[in-house]
Structure 1
Amino acid sequence: SGCDKLWCNARTSAVPLYDRAGFTKIGDEFEIDPIGPHFLMVRLIQHSSIDR
């Protein structure tokens, strides 16, 4: 049980930050009004035997 992925709607200007944190862009850029352009980003979580 538990979480196997994290996701976020990342502002386009923040994509490099999320890249460095291990996230991957999914799909095309989209607009969230009135904030601006975003990308869906996902990071898979790998569990080890220590986590259990």
Structure 2
Amino acid sequence: MASVDVDMVKCACPDCVCVVSVTKAVKRDEKAFCCDECAEGHPDHAGCDHAGCSCHG
């Protein structure tokens, strides 16, 4: 069985469309997020501010 290296993953925030590098991701509870806002569940309903993404938690 061949091994697979995953370099990029979708942000774990359900509303987010961002794809993030595994090595640069913000990690919370073994999940990868694109930024602190997504990782914290958007406590102030601020978006991730990445172009083309409209998530706000």
TM-score by length of 1: 0.22
* Bigger proportion of residues as helix: 1
Which structure: larger Rg? Answer: 1
* Bigger proportion of residues as strand: 1
TM-score by length of 2: 0.22
